A and B are shown apart, each in its own frame.
Chain A
Amino acid sequence: MKKGLYSCVCVVMLLLATSLWADTIYIPVASPYTGQLASFGEGVKNGALLKADELNAAGGINGNKVEIQLEDELCDPKEAASVATKLAKDPKYSIIIGHLCSSATLAALPIYRDAKLPAITPASTNVNIGKMSPYYFRNVYKDDFQGFFLAKYVHKIKNFKKIVIFYEVNDYSMGLMLAFMLEAKKLGIEILGTEAFTSETTDFKPQLTKFKMLKPDAVFIPGYAPQGTLIIGQATSMGFKVNFFGADGLDDELMLKNQNAEGLFVTTPFLPDKAGAQAESFIKAYKAKYNKEPNWFAANTYDAVGIAAAAMKAVGLKREDITKYLAGIDTKEKAYEGVTGKTYFDANGDCLKDAFIKTIKDGKWVSADQQLIE
């Protein structure tokens, strides 16, 4: 008899547990999870899943369970467009988090715009993204800001006078280069030369040979880490000793495997030890779950999912309403307070955030001794 009672209770509890969630809300997070830039995607994935766990532990979105749906696009514009088409067609999605690479975001952008589907990119920094669609928002700075910032930093703190730029042929890298060159001209930094490469390039020696003859103070690599580490390695093997610096695209664990990358410095939107008090519990939870420090991809995606959840909590699941809500976050007072600071959008859906400098010291990424806070 007692046994029967127990099983009865169990069944009731089970029923309660399954019916606790009214419904499931799917949030797609599009990024490269395989391929060359898979390690960037790992941060995105970890950040998104951690936020979803915390949301669900706190009762989900108005009683609905949050589920992150990972969409792999390999950072390839063609793949990104096909993922975007699939997501835009399905009415069960109210908002997209992604994409990571600027070229992928620019390929997906018109598809979301035509479907009036709002999207937040946690990582794409190309200048044009916000301007091209009223449905695209981002909680990361733009390349013009990043490029200006880097130019000011190398001018004021590092005192570099002659620089060469080694860029990749893609939207992110070229946008960054243009911004840097604009500010460098104002500050009187001399750009001795620019050379290009593509994502398939593994032989950088012809261009590096040219750079070596120009004898610059530093080489600026506005590209991604897989090529960045090869460039630095090949330069060293050619006896080309020079300072290297880059932007957030080089901010990756991969660089640490290269002994020659010591002293490399890059811009980043998030530094664990420079983050405010609000980030403390995030960093702690992240370390507990993944056993490593969160990088900026993780922090920004964590906040992007948070913003999306706040929007759905406030106005429901209609695409239009969410877009209106996000566009309404337009002043510092209304800003979303996350682990990366206050996020609020300008008329284009872009946001203004601080940049930090991190550098490789003794085979580890650390905050640079000298930051440039404006």
Chain B
Amino acid sequence: MVFDQSSLLLQQLVNGITLGGVYALIAVGYTMVYGVIQLINFAHGEIYMLAAFVALTLITQCHIPFFASFFITIGICGCLGVVLDYIAYRPIRKSPRLAALITAIGMSIFLQNLALILWGGQIHSFPQDVLPKIFTKIAINFSDVIVTWLEVFILCVTVCSMFILHYIITRTKIGIAMRAISQDKVTASLMGIPVNRVISFTFFIGSALGGVAGILVGIYYNAVFPTMGYVAGIKAFAAAVLGGIGSVPGAMLGGWVLGITEVLGAGYFSSEYRDGISYAVMILVILFKPSGLIGKPLPQKV
């Protein structure tokens, strides 16, 4: 190889951190819902996909400026999560967990096909003139390593979202309620915590973050299509498990670990087995530390 290895590595790390941040955002949604109601919400990837479509429609059809569309879409996605919980999961909250899991898969298929009917199966992209001009400009150019403003924007949004989330969970009343429910639902309700309302709020936050990720990915790769949520959802789920499902900092760490491994795997080993490499890392971690990187160890049942 004739080129500078260190600048290749740096550029790949930039790619990996951007991708990992997006995985982390989606993974947080999985892990929050799991923490509160022990449900793996497979429709979460579809919320992410719908966010990209809603933003695209708002920008190109309704001609709403990018940043306004960004916040409207986040709101819509949050509400969508609440509606999803209300119509699909709340009625069967007391049934066996398998029933809820199957419902989640059903909702995922339903939403995917809804998008297929509404927008068609082709890959849509954001026209170049509707996005802020600054996104395509170069922010840092350091010996062949290029970071665009869009990448800076994605990283900032990801980190800010994480901080806001951390604040909500640790410092606010509703955050404390969420943690209480995740420890013991019955006792929490006996203490006067409105369990259903807090669960709705959890869905709102989780789905809104998934929505943020959907828009960011939609503009970063410029590809919006109905099945985009499937692969991203599985990857983010893997990230959540890797970090320790139920743990919010774990999901963030898991997202970044998975994103960086994937990009480095594709860049240095074999791009053909790119997904395989990232899942292999996940399996290895789970083998040696079944509770994930920073998950709480499961209590022994006697």
A370 at the interface (CB under 8 A from B): no
Judge whether B84 is part of the interface by a CB distance below 8 angstroms.
no
The contact of B8 among A201, A213, A238, by CB within 8 Å, is: A213
- Taking a contact as CB atoms closer than 8 A, the residue among B7, B15, B121, B262 that contacts A213 in the complex is B7
| Cβ–Cβ contact B231 & A200, under 8 A | yes
Inter-subunit contact B4/A213 (CB<8 Å): yes
Q: How far is the CA of A205 from the CA of B138 in the complex (A)?
A: 16
Q: List, in ascending order, chain A residues with CB within 8 A of B172's CB.
A: none
Contact assessment for B8 and A209 in the assembled complex, using a CB-CB cutoff below 8 Å: yes
The 9 tightest CB contacts between A and B, nearest first, are: A213-B3, A196-B272, A206-B266, A206-B267, A35-B121, A202-B223, A202-B221, A206-B263, A195-B271
B57 at the interface (CB under 8 A from A): no
| A85 within 8 Å of B (CB atoms) | no
B150 at interface, CB cutoff 8 A: yes
Which interface class (under 10, 10 to 19, 20 to 34, 35 or more) fits B?
A: 35 or more
| Total A-B residue contacts, Cβ distance less than 8 Å | 87
In the complex formed, the residue of B with least CB distance to A35 is B121
Seed contacts A202-B223, A206-B264, A229-B123; 12 additional CB < 8 Å A-B pairs: A36-B121, A203-B19, A205-B15, A206-B267, A209-B8, A209-B12, A209-B267, A210-B267, A213-B3, A226-B122, A229-B125, A258-B125
- For the complex, what is the distance from the CA of A213 to the CA of B227, rounded to whole Å? 32
Rounded to whole angstroms, the CA-CA distance of A200 and B231 in the bound complex is 8
Binary contact readout A1-35 vs B (1 if CB under 8 angstroms, 0 otherwise): 00000000000000000000000000000000011
How many A residues touch the partner, as a band?
35 or more
CA distance A259 to B120 in the complex (A): 23
What are 30 A-B interface contacts by the 8 Å CB criterion?
A34-B120, A34-B121, A36-B123, A39-B122, A169-B272, A196-B271, A198-B275, A201-B274, A202-B221, A203-B15, A203-B19, A205-B263, A206-B263, A206-B267, A207-B266, A207-B271, A210-B8, A212-B144, A213-B1, A213-B7, A213-B8, A213-B144, A214-B2, A214-B3, A229-B123, A230-B222, A230-B223, A238-B148, A239-B146, A257-B125
A215 at interface, CB cutoff 8 A: yes
In angstroms, Cα B218 to Cα A202, docked, is 10
Question: Is there a chain A Cβ closer than 8 Å to B161's Cβ?
Answer: no
Known A-B contacts A202-B228, A206-B15, A226-B122; the reply to A233 vs B267 at CB < 8 A is no
Chain A residues within 8 Å of B275, by CB: 198
Q: Indicate whether A38 reaches chain B with its CB closer than 8 angstroms.
A: yes
Is the CB of A234 closer than 8 A to any CB of chain B?
A: yes
